[in-house]
Structure 1
Amino acid sequence: MGFLNNLFGKKDENSPMETNEQTTYQDFWNWFATKEKEFFEVVKSRKDIEKDFFDILSPKLKNIDDGIYFLTGMKDDDTAELIFTPDGVIKKIAIIEDLVAAAPSFSNWVFTALKPSAADISNIGLRMGDYSFDKDNLWFYANSDESYPDEVDIVLVYENYKAADKDMITNAAYLFLDNYLGELNSVTTIDHLQIIGKNEATEELIPIGKMKDYLLWREREFVEKYQAVSYDTKNDGFSSLEATLNNGLPLIAIVDKTLLEWDSKASHPWMVTVKIKYDGKNNNGFPDESIYKLLDQFEDELAEDLKDVDGYLNIGRETADSERVIFIACKDFRKPTRVLDKMMIKYKGKIDFTYSIFKDKYWKAVEMYNV
């Protein structure tokens, strides 16, 4: 497998999805069907692949979403593989999975959502700059914290680590883990990852080849502990909090106080933050009546699609300085991204919003409201 093509610049978790409303997954695959034989020959021959494959495929994918990247190469003598990847951006995973799920069958192609795991870690080796990465120069251990027992905090130890090349080494280490663990496991099973040199290690080093089994064990433990946990906000109590920003403008937050005191927060480990911009310059940073109504409509629709009993808990919102931020703790990350991507299309030109989703088992993003 060869040819990594990072199509459209640097990834950004907070960037809005630029979706062409006229381009559907079916549109894309109908177009691909007209090119697949030609593309197969290009990939097989490895000649002019940039011009005759990447440059043609890239804008078509961008019409679906500008966060889709891809790898391509020959799976065997008669089959080309096209792997779609979000390059580590969680909120793009569902888009890619849905794109691949809609793919038709072609005799010379196989399509894969997210980089798969390697069957044998001995086959993984990569170079970046002057550094090489393989099973013989990487180890790991896990930190533990009694205050956050469910967090998976991994320290990756690299024999040739140099602080001066931290960024390059970090990128290479993440790429190694993507190929070893599989991209989905790499970005969803580890809560925190730190990369250090061997001389900085404070615990016994574990061979990197044992990390997959360790993470499977931690994930199995977590699922058994929280799979049956649900929450109904029907009888919860809410609090209104007020503060003043550094620029002197007021802030008002409405939060579910009962929910914030819940002792099973980790059962909803994904945090969604929705940031809505509006013009509040003539109203002390707050929305006027017409904007309030539109924001309420937006939140009502969001709550209808993401119900608490289904695993989506609206913790609260804060409003200040021409921005409203909504916090939702979730059991999974796929449905919220699908819902919000559709709402981004529906409310285009009416509401200007972005969203991000990240692992936050202990809801640290809203701990400032625990007062």
Structure 2
Amino acid sequence: MNFFKKFLKKDNPIKSNADFWNWFIKNEKSFFKVIKEQGDVNRLFFIDLSKKLNELKSGYWFLAGMFDEDTAELILTADGDLKNIAFVEDLVEEAPQIKGWKITALKQESGFENQGIEIDDYKFSKDTLRFYSNDLNNYPDEIDITITHKSLSEDNRIDITNGIYLFLDNALGELNSVSIIDNLSVVNTSVATSDLVPIEKLKDFLIWREKEFIEKYDGLRHSTEKDSYSAFEASMESGLPLLAVVNTDLLQWDSKASHPWVAVLEMEYTGLSNNGMPDEETYNLLNIIEDEVLQELKDSKGYLNIGRQTADNTREIYFACTDFRKPSKVFYQIQTKYSGKLKVSFDIYKDKYWQSFDRFYRGK
């Protein structure tokens, strides 16, 4: 065992997916053995695995166990974080064939029939959960569902809600649970406002709604070449100025739901500003970065630049997208490239009707 630890310490830093898999191959027999024999998996596998994944990029999670008598399974997961799903998928896509191992991207669906979990004496299964759909007249394309649990109270709302999310994560699979449902609320069964539907019918309902959505919007694009842009000036509560430039034609588009993912790149330039605004050098750098992003995220490919906002030592750039994978990769590249000059972060979330940008409508 001392040799095993010594061997691991000599490994080079992980800088690419290939580096990670080369390291894994060197150690997979030891990893397989500890899983197979149900040994100290945390000390002999998980600690080192976590370290190597973090060297590659933060945000990787994992599960491991025996898939069958002769095969160990390693499940790499983003733990429901949209920003990291593309990286998990790419890492698994580049995994070599390793005898005795099954490498899986994201937690797969286990279905509703034989799936159930218990947390702090609360049970989550087809016997305890029901659902119904909410029709939103102003937002007809949104998939808004309510799930009921008879034990829900204000005291245990967080526990019950977390349990339901975990149940859906397992039953529907990680990707489906975070990408298809737009809004989810949880109520006690006694206050349901519509007929209750068995939870095991949820998958069929989501497939039907998603199919309708795709048929309605698939391939729809908007060219921004001739669009009009408006500049907005305002003051924050702190008194600092806020400047924004937004595509006002785009905000009036009647097919917003075709680009349901909002991607936000945030760049902080604290210490290099005047009254919260960038100085000339920083301003030029921010524009260079924005041009780089626009070269990668084109409207013809499904990535619409809504505009940007500058205030309080921060610039935000907004996109509405048909997919969340490429923006996460492009933004991460920017984050890595300019980490020594700016504090760069990003967020990606679903907003079919771009309600995030209501503040840019005149009069709002």
CA contact (8 A) 1:154 1:192 kept: yes
Counterpart check, 1:307 vs 2:307: no
Match of 2:154 in 1: 163
Superposed displacement of residue 279, structure 1: 3.1
CA contact (8 A) 1:86 1:96 kept: yes
Match of 2:9 in 1: none
Counterpart check, 1:364 vs 2:344: no
What is the alpha-carbon distance in structure 2 between the residues aligned to residue 339 and residue 139 of structure 1?
A: 40
What is the alpha-carbon distance in structure 2 between the residues aligned to residue 121 and residue 74 of structure 1?
A: 22
Cα displacement string for residues 131-187 of structure 1 (whole angstroms, at most 9, x for unaligned residues): 111111111011111100000111111122232122221221111101111110000
Greater relative contact order: 1 or 2 (C-alpha under 8 angstroms, separation 6 or more)? 1
Match of 1:189 in 2: 180
- Secondary structure of 2:306 counterpart: strand
Match of 2:28 in 1: 36
Match of 1:217 in 2: 208
Match of 2:236 in 1: 245
Superposed displacement of residue 228, structure 1: 2.3
Unaligned runs of 5+ in 2: 1-11
**TM-score, normalised on structure 1?**
0.92
Identical amino acids, percent of aligned pairs: 49
Equivalent positions of 1:281-320 (< 5 A) are 283-320=274-311
Counterpart check, 1:344 vs 2:335: yes
What is the alpha-carbon distance in structure 2 between the residues aligned to residue 35 and residue 246 of structure 1?
A: 56
CA contact (8 A) 1:143 1:155 kept: yes
Match of 1:45 in 2: 37
* CA RMSD, 1 decimal: 1.4
Q: Which consecutive aligned stretches of 4+ in structure 1 deviate over 6 angstroms post-superposition?
A: none
Counterpart check, 1:72 vs 2:73: no
Q: 1:331 to 1:282 in 2, by over 3 A?
A: closer
Given residue 42 of structure 2, which amino acid in structure 1 is its aligned partner?
A: E
What is the alpha-carbon distance in structure 2 between the residues aligned to residue 79 and residue 281 of structure 1?
A: 55
The number of equivalent residue pairs is 351
Superposed displacement of residue 280, structure 1: 5.9
**TM-score, normalised on structure 2?**
0.94
2:166 to 175, 188, 206: 175
Q: Which moved more, 1:225-234 or 1:160-169?
A: 160-169
Q: 1:260 to 1:113 in 2, by over 3 A?
A: same
Superposed displacement of residue 285, structure 1: 1.1
Match of 1:255 in 2: 246
Unaligned runs of 5+ in 1: 1-19
CA contact (8 A) 1:250 1:320 kept: yes
What is the alpha-carbon distance in structure 1 between the residues aligned to residue 146 and residue 199 of structure 2?
A: 11
What is the alpha-carbon distance in structure 1 between the residues aligned to residue 43 and residue 143 of structure 2?
A: 43
What is the alpha-carbon distance in structure 2 between the residues aligned to residue 241 and residue 278 of structure 1?
A: 21
